[in-house]
Amino acid sequence: MAKEIERKFLIKNENWKTLVKSQIQIKQGYLNDDPNRAVRIRIKDQKGIITIKGKTTGFSRLEFEYEIPYPDALALLKLCNQPIIEKTRYHVFENDLLWEIDIFEGDNKGLQIVEVELDAEDQKVQTPEWVGQEVTDDSKYYNLSLMTFPYTQWKK
C-alpha cells in the first residue's frame, strides 16, 4: 500500500528560479469529484498516468499511481470533469529535499504553489527563504478543488 505525505506552501518570491533542475508540463483531470477518493488522469509531457488517492488526514493519504498508455490517457482526459488542470512543474533540490513548484495556467492562471513530499509526518522541514505561507490544511488549494472552483474565480 502506498502512502503520500505532502506539505503545500505558497511561494513568497521568485528566488527559486535560479535553482531549477528540471521542468515538465502537466495536464490532469478528475473522473470524480468526491473528496473521500479521487481518480486522477495525468499527462506528464508524453506519459500517461492514472492515480487513485484517498482522503487526506493530516499530511497523509493513500496513493496508488500507475502508468497507462498515452493514447488512453488522452481519451480519459476527455471524460474528466472540467476544467482540466494545466501547470508547469519545476523541480528544485534544497535542504536535502525535492521541492516541486507548480505554476498554473488556464482557469488557475496566477496560482503558484510549492509542494514537498516527506518520509514521515513528523519529519522536520527547513523551508527555503522563497517558501511562504503553508496551505497544507486549506482544501481550496487541492487540485481537485481547483477543478471545481478555479483560482481565477477567487476574489482577490
Query: Amino acid identity, residue 63?
Result: E
Catalytic residues: 30
Distance of CA 24 to the CA centre of its chain: 12
Secondary structure (DSSP) of the chain = --EEEEEEEEE--SGGGGGEEEEEEEEEEES---TTEEEEEEEETTEEEEEEEE--BTTEEEEEEEEE-HHHHHHHHHHS-SSPEEEEEEEEEETTEEEEEEEE-GGGTT-EEEEEE-SSTT------TTEEEE-TT-GGGSHHHHHHS-GGGS--
